[in-house]
């Protein structure tokens, strides 16, 4: 009787190790790429948020027969008070910008560590056409942007004067590592365009002091510190 030899199907140890090495190599190439794509998408969304804020401000400031600006006294009349939260409330009430998600940055560590619920809207108009804040709105939310108030748009160099920027920008023209982009941020200018900066230097040529027309690397040369409504300093 002849014994029938059956062919064994399978992989040798060398083949398995080769396949594992190839998979590891591909993962090493693809994972950073996917992370970079995700970060770019988040930056694009953040820039889009700021453009929406800029457009709402333009619609408000240029609506009617005279140029209007958001100032401290107007914010003091809001329920959220003279703060970045008052700015957000003012936009929702007077410029129709009630979508709360515009004010938060997905990549912000403060959003990730926030224990509460991020609201979908800032507020709404009730049956009597009176504006009401959402029940979820509070003054401890991780707002992602700082906003400048009190400067008349018609008196500013619109293409070089900031209106809002990613939270955390300091006097040195840099963002802290705890900022959404770990050391960089967007700036919304008065003409509505948005730029991304890793840091602000005098050679950038984008920022000027509206009083002197000279380039500056100090954000508080542009807007007086008392007129900058800052998001809270989140300790992470």
**CB-CB contact of 46 with 180 (8 Å):** yes
**CB-CB contact of 147 with 67 (8 Å):** no
User: How many C-beta atoms surround the C-beta of residue 201 within 10 A?
Assistant: 14
User: In this predicted structure, what is the pLDDT of residue 178?
Assistant: 85
DSSP summary character for residue 128: T
Cα–Cα distance for residue pair 79/211, rounded to 1 Å? 32
Residue in 93, 234, 60 with CA at minimum distance from that of residue 163: 60
This prediction's pTM: 0.81
How far is the first Cα of the chain from the last one, in angstroms, to the nearest whole number? 78
User: In this predicted structure, what is the pLDDT of residue 45?
Assistant: 95
User: 156 pLDDT exceeds 70?
Assistant: no
**CB-CB contact of 146 with 229 (8 Å):** yes
Range with the poorest average pLDDT among 105-114, 176-185, 198-207: 198-207
Higher local confidence (pLDDT), 95 or 236: 95
Cα–Cα distance for residue pair 184/181, rounded to 1 Å? 5
Segment 109-140, tens digit of pLDDT: 999 889 888 999 999 988 888 899 999 999 99
**Token pair 């300093």 in the structure block, residue:** 233
**CB-CB contact of 114 with 102 (8 Å):** no
């Amino acid at each position: 009787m002849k014994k029938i030899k059956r062919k064994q199907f399978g992989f040798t140890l060398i083949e398995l190790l080769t396949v594992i090495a190839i998979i590891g190599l591909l993962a090493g190439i693809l994972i950073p790429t996917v992370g970079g794509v995700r970060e770019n998408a988040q930056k694009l969304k953040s820039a889009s948020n700021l453009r929406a804020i800029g457009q709402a401000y333009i619609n408000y400031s240029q609506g009617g027969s005279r140029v209007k600006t958001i100032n401290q006294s107007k914010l003091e009349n809001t329920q959220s008070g003279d703060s970045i939260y008052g700015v957000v409330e003012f936009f929702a009430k007077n410029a129709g910008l009630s979508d709360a998600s515009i004010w938060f940055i997905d990549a912000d560590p403060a959003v990730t560590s926030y224990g509460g619920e991020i609201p979908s809207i800032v507020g709404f108009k009730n049956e009597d056409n009176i504006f009401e804040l959402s029940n979820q709105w509070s003054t401890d939310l991780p707002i992602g942007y700082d906003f400048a108030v009190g400067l008349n748009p018609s008196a500013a160099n619109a293409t070089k004067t900031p209106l809002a920027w990613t939270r955390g920008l300091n006097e040195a023209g840099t963002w802290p590592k705890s900022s959404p982009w770990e050391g960089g941020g967007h700036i919304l200018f008065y003409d509505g365009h948005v730029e991304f900066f890793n840091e602000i230097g005098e050679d950038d040529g984008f920022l000027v002091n509206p009083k002197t027309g000279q380039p500056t690397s100090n954000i508080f040369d542009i807007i007086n510190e008392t007129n900058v409504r800052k998001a809270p300093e989140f300790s992470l």
